[in-house]
Amino acid sequence: MAPSSPNSTPYAAEFAPSNVQADQPLLPRMIGLAGLGFTTLGIAAIIANQYSPRIVGLSGGYLFAIFGIFALLYHALRDGDPEIRRVYGIASAVLVLAGLITLVVPGKPTEATTSTLAYHFLPWGAFALFVGLGFLAAFLKHENESNFSEWGEVVLLGTGGVLFISSAILGVFWPAALVGIGIVMALIGLAYLAVYLARVDVSVGRGYQVALGLGVLGALILVLALGRSIAPTVIHEGPSALKKINQDYDAGKVFGRIVLILLSLSLLLVARTKDLIAPVRIGLVTVGLLFAGTFIVGSFRTGWVPIQPVPYLVPSGLLLMMIGGAALMLAIAMTSDSHFVVLTRREFAAYLFSPIGYIVLFGAALMASYGYWQFLDGMIPDAERLAETLRRGGRMVIEEPIVQRYNAATLIAAFQALLLVPALTMRTFSEEKRTGTLEVLLTAPIKEWTIVVSKFAAAWGFFMLSWVPMGLYLIALWVVGGQPFDYRPLMSYYIAVGVFGATFIAIGIFFSSLTKNQIVAAVMTFAVMIGMLLTVWLRNSQTTLFGSGVRKVLEQFDFFTAWTTALSGSLALQTIVLQLTFAAFWLFITTKVLETRKWG
């Protein structure tokens, strides 16, 4: 309450804006109590149903339990009372412990997995850890005594570290276990670490070291997985990979190999960027030299890898790269000072703070559930006959590739894209122009191009996030069905969605930069995308309205057909390159629009 400076005015110094009165958390407590009741009921139902059918069935039990846990979480977030929050803290510690224990307790093998280790991890252990994280975060939000909150942070860091590092070790030495257990462990571990890093000061001290260590580890895993996927094959094939059948050098393949070598060496150039810390520079140089060396060696010598290497890229290599990549991205997002990272972070968080983000995700989940239902319906034509067959101990055979039957996915996906892209991109520049924050952004020492690309990255990232529910359903099918299926067409599908999504988002951002009115931007984006969708009609019709050349050009905009063919496993490289070029073009002219204010 003292004046802020010795020569200040005789007025009383200003207080904090209003009196603070502790909340009477009556409603949250009631909800918490109800939640406790539901959870107990649910768990009892689940346990009882293991022995014989009860009034409250198994699915009812799950429903009650999940609803109850959400209610408890809400209470934990709202109620700051010391006793209550510490009870939640202890509960979260118990859950974390239980989750970690399921990692080591063995169980019975089934068809899908021959390993007995971590049998109960999916789904119980994972679930316990996930819920435990929620309660731990809620506990730490209210806890202001430093001993307890430090303990909480130690638990966060410890659990996250243990989970992530174990999944990395698992991935390196027992790649088969990666699908399913490994990746879930890694993701949960990263979630714990993310919450930890969000709480501590990441610019100095321990927080910085943890983030740095995570980044280094992630990069190491990424490079290791990449190397192990590429190097053995390259060295095993030797110079014959560059030659045609008649032992002459194939110009195209040689050119491709030279490009790869140059790309690897370009990492050394990237290492010269200023403002990079020493470990990053060393890492880039080492990786660049290693890869270049591998490619060079593989072009001239053979014999070092005599036996055909086991295919590693799919799925273990890819999954390990994803885990390493996710860790690296988390570390970069937390500590990097690059303008692009800072702006992207802010933009992405803004989606999570506005209703639009949740509406988009909820809508996508709804559409994914409808698509999955249609998919199952198509796969199992006659449910009664199936039930009859199964009761008699027989089986039903469905031919691969089953993912192709996910046709509902493409129709639903087209609608999803049509509706979600304008919703996501309409506020990117329009709101900043309206509120004036663009002025503050453009008078800071940031390049316009960085601003545009960061908005694009955040919107595209969120767009791709809305396709995760579809993937989750298929993971559930894998786990519950017990039988692995060929999911490789899914990868080409996701890539197709990704590149076309890039074009859509870039168009949306461009229109947003033209106007202060979000609705106008949304409508213009929607109109362009409808136009693109309508080219499907062109492909199927016999109309002579357009010449064959124009027709071919217009067919490139047909994303519906592209997605359908991608789902059956074929995606042309030309399509990918074309769409990425389009996206870059739209972003470029958006940058120019921003720069026009400088043209007087």
Partner 1 sequence: MSAPAIQVTDLCKNYGPVVAVDHVSFEVATGELVGFLGLNGAGKTTTMRILTTFMPASSGIAKVAGYDVMYESMDVRRNLGYLPESVPLYPEMRVQEYLESRAKLKGVERTARTARIDYCIERCRIREVRRRVIGTLSKGYRQRVGLADALISMPKVLILDEPLSGLDPIQQEESLQTIRELSGQHSVLFSSHQLTDVEKVCDRVIIIHRGRLEFDDRLSTIAARAAVLFLEVRGPSADVQSFLQKAQHVTSVQVGASEGPYTTFVIRSDTDNREALVSSLVEKGWGIRRVDQRREKLEDTFMRVAYQRA
Quick one: 185 or 202, whose CB is closer to partner 1?
202
444 binds partner 1 (CB under 8 A): yes
Question: Using an 8 Å Cβ cutoff, are 528 and 504 in contact?
Answer: no
In order, the DSSP letters of 287-347 are: HHHHHHHHHHHHHH---SS-SPPPP-IIIIIHHHHHHHHHHHHHHHHHH---HHHHHHHHH
Q: Which of 437, 483, 570, 581 binds partner 1 (CB under 8 A)?
A: 437
407-425 vs 559-567: helix crossing angle, rounded to 10:
130
16 binds partner 1 (CB under 8 A): yes
274 binds partner 1 (CB under 8 A): no
Q: Which stretches of 200-248 are DSSP H helices?
A: 205-237
Residues in CB range of 132: below 8 A, 6 or more apart: 91, 92, 93, 94, 95, 96, 99
Kindly tell me the burial class for residue 520, based on how many C-beta atoms sit within 10 Å of its own C-beta (0-12, 13-18, 19 or more). middle
Quick one: 392 or 598, whose CB is closer to partner 1?
598
Q: What tokens were used for 563?
A: 């997605």
Residue type for position 205: G
Quick one: 137 or 343, whose CB is closer to partner 1?
343
Q: Which of 94, 101, 259, 349 binds partner 1 (CB under 8 A)?
A: 349
Count how many residues are written for the chain. Answer: 600
355-379 vs 407-425: helix crossing angle, rounded to 10:
170
17 binds partner 1 (CB under 8 A): yes
Question: Using an 8 Å Cβ cutoff, are 489 and 406 in contact?
Answer: no
Quick one: 381 or 600, whose CB is closer to partner 1?
600
21 binds partner 1 (CB under 8 A): no
Question: Using an 8 Å Cβ cutoff, are 501 and 464 in contact?
Answer: yes
**Binding letters toward partner 1, positions 321-340, x by CB under 8 A:** --------------x-x-x-
Whether the bond between 279 and the residue before it is cis, its omega within 30 degrees of 0, is: no
Residue type for position 339: H
346 binds partner 1 (CB under 8 A): yes
597 binds partner 1 (CB under 8 A): yes
Quick one: 207 or 501, whose CB is closer to partner 1?
207
Q: Which of 47, 258, 440, 553 binds partner 1 (CB under 8 A)?
A: 440
Q: Which of 53, 393, 547, 600 binds partner 1 (CB under 8 A)?
A: 600
Which residue's entry shows tokens 């992630």? Answer: 218
Residue 243 pairs in a beta bridge with: 249
**Binding letters toward partner 1, positions 159-198, x by CB under 8 A:** ----------------------------------------
446 binds partner 1 (CB under 8 A): yes
Q: Which of 442, 491, 523, 578 binds partner 1 (CB under 8 A)?
A: 442
Quick one: 173 or 599, whose CB is closer to partner 1?
599
5 binds partner 1 (CB under 8 A): yes
543 binds partner 1 (CB under 8 A): no
303 binds partner 1 (CB under 8 A): no
350 binds partner 1 (CB under 8 A): yes
Residues that bind partner 1 (CB under 8 A): 4-5, 7-9, 11-17, 201, 203-204, 208, 335, 337, 339, 342-343, 345-346, 349-350, 353-354, 435-437, 439-440, 442-446, 597-600
